[in-house]
Structure 1
Amino acid sequence: MSVLALREFSYWMLRYRSTWRSTIVVSVLNPLLFLLAMGAGLGRLVDRNTAPDTLHGVVFLAFFAPGLLAAATMQTAVIEATRPVFLGVRPGGSYRSAVAGPLGPSDVLAGHLLYIALRIATSALCFVAVLLCFPPLRTTALLWLTPAALLTGLAFATPCMAWAATLETGQPMSTLFRFVIMPMYMFSGVFFPVEQIPAALRYVVYCTPLWHGTELCRGERPVLHAAYLGALTLAGLLLARRTYRRRLFA
């Protein structure tokens, strides 16, 4: 990463100075409330009425928490990688101002992606800190969660950055959340095992990055899922370099 990319990163960190407190509060309160309601509350009913091997051999709280982290990471990554990029490439946007000086499109991309990675990592760390409040979750598996969540977030962030840089209006972003992000949130194994989904749809779920991220956070076949998410991250990055160059030099 070049020194010029660090200038772009510094710009986003400067903006973050005015909002970091609220984002940290949300990163702590949201998972805490979800885990209390769904994990510790509803989870007791699930555990009493579910066979032990249905949830990968663990209680519902231990099954639900890693999936919720992956889903929360997906949301953070998509939010940070869509609208800010869309606004940045527009006339008068921050990207346009940056490339009018010494920075090139690759510097802008690298600096902004570094900031997004930091946002994903800090949100994941806050989530892991919340998990320490629940005794059944205090295991060595917590050490794996932050890097797993970071890779999951990057697998969403780089393709979204590549796509958002091509948009002319903001309407497609609403469509993305409504018809892609929310269905993945509900049906990618966060709340229940995907084996309960009809077989025809199950193979669609297996292709989604959130399912791979959820399984990675649970420690299931980590090499396979990390390879998938890493390949998606790299593909998104290469595509983003192309779309940024086209859009910012247009």
Structure 2
Amino acid sequence: MAPETAYAPGWVHGVGLVLENHLRWYRRNWRATAISSVLQPLLFLLAFGLGFGSLVGSRAAAVTGGAEYLVWLAPALLAMSAVQTGAFEMSYPVLAGFKWRRTYEATTATPIGGGQVALGQLAFVAVKSVLTGAVSLLVIALFGGVRSVGVLGSLVAAVLTGAAVAALVMAFSASRQDEGAAFNALFRFVVLPMTLFSGTFFPIANLPAWVQPLAWVSPLWHGTELARWAAGVGPAGAGAVLGHVAYLLVLLGVGIALSVRLFVRRLGR
């Protein structure tokens, strides 16, 4: 039996090894991503939750179901932060792994395959979203944005949403040979509009009727609705909740399937 076959890790073990590698790197370099992962959501919290929220005051109750604006906004900020983290982590860093740093080629020089590399990368982004989301949740609680333990479910919904977006962006990045203007267009015409028009800061019912269908296809809208439902400040019923979960799981599955296929094709195994 060839040495490579004798010492080849199982599929799940291989994914775990890739995840461990990313976590070891993150343990030493987490400060480099702290601004985008934690400070940016905090700034949104201060600007909109406290600043804008103080302006709307009790008038916001008509659209928040009676909840304070900060409490209504907090679950959406968790989902928004997870989406932004997932989109960024799967853009330039993924292309760097293929083209500039070539860490993926180094990894697949071992018995670990391209599909395991892709899933390990996605698992790392999910774990990172849990860690940074927990810190953000603690900050939100300190500012009075938590009213129920159900907000922990909001964190789960946010991680699911971020993973769904991350998987799709990873597939897109794996198909690129050069970044060109592709990533700028992605953030400018997909991520930014998704942040603004997915019900994060105001209900999509306030949007023009012709814009609302665009919000319905946004993963962030589904994640935001789920996060608010978990926190007890959303009107979603059981059928709507299942619909939101199913939509995000379908996107996650499609993104994973495409990413694994493209990683295997590009890395040769």
Taking structure 1 as the reference length, what is the TM-score of the superposition?
Answer: 0.92
- Alignment deviations for residues 169-215 of structure 1 (CA, whole Å, 9 cap, x no partner): 11211110011111111111111110011111101111111111111
Partner of 1:29: 39
Within 2, Cα distance between the matches of 1:32 and 1:23? 14
Does residue 113 (structure 1) correspond to residue 132 (structure 2)? The answer is: no
**Which sections of structure 2, spanning at least 5 residues, go unmatched?**
1-10, 230-235
Contact 2:80 2:158 in 1 (8 A): no
Contact 1:121 1:146 in 2 (8 A): yes
Partner of 1:227: 246
Percent identity, aligned pairs only? 36
Superposed displacement of residue 28, structure 1: 4.0
Within 1, Cα distance between the matches of 2:204 and 2:134? 27
Partner of 2:232: none
Cα RMSD, aligned residues only: 1.9
- Alignment deviations for residues 55-101 of structure 1 (CA, whole Å, 9 cap, x no partner): 23322112221112111111100111121111112275111111122
**Which sections of structure 1, spanning at least 5 residues, go unmatched?**
none
Does residue 19 (structure 1) correspond to residue 29 (structure 2)? The answer is: yes
Within 1, Cα distance between the matches of 2:100 and 2:54? 53
Does residue 133 (structure 1) correspond to residue 142 (structure 2)? The answer is: yes
Does residue 236 (structure 1) correspond to residue 246 (structure 2)? The answer is: no
Within 1, Cα distance between the matches of 2:68 and 2:100? 52
Q: 1:26 to 1:201 in 2, by over 3 A?
A: closer
Does residue 197 (structure 1) correspond to residue 207 (structure 2)? The answer is: yes
Q: 1:149 to 1:177 in 2, by over 3 A?
A: same
Superposed displacement of residue 42, structure 1: 1.7
Partner of 2:162: 153
Count of aligned pairs between the two proteins: 249
Amino acid at match of 1:35: L
Contact 1:90 1:96 in 2 (8 A): no
Superposed displacement of residue 25, structure 1: 6.1
Deviates more, 1:92-101 or 1:196-205: 92-101
Deviates more, 1:192-201 or 1:104-113: 104-113
Does residue 186 (structure 1) correspond to residue 196 (structure 2)? The answer is: yes
Within 1, Cα distance between the matches of 2:28 and 2:145? 36
Within 1, Cα distance between the matches of 2:144 and 2:189? 36
Q: 1:18 to 1:57 in 2, by over 3 A?
A: same
Amino acid at match of 1:47: G
Superposed displacement of residue 27, structure 1: 4.0
Contact 2:97 2:104 in 1 (8 A): yes
Within 1, Cα distance between the matches of 2:93 and 2:144? 38
Equivalent residue of 1:210, what SS?
helix
Contact 1:27 1:126 in 2 (8 A): no
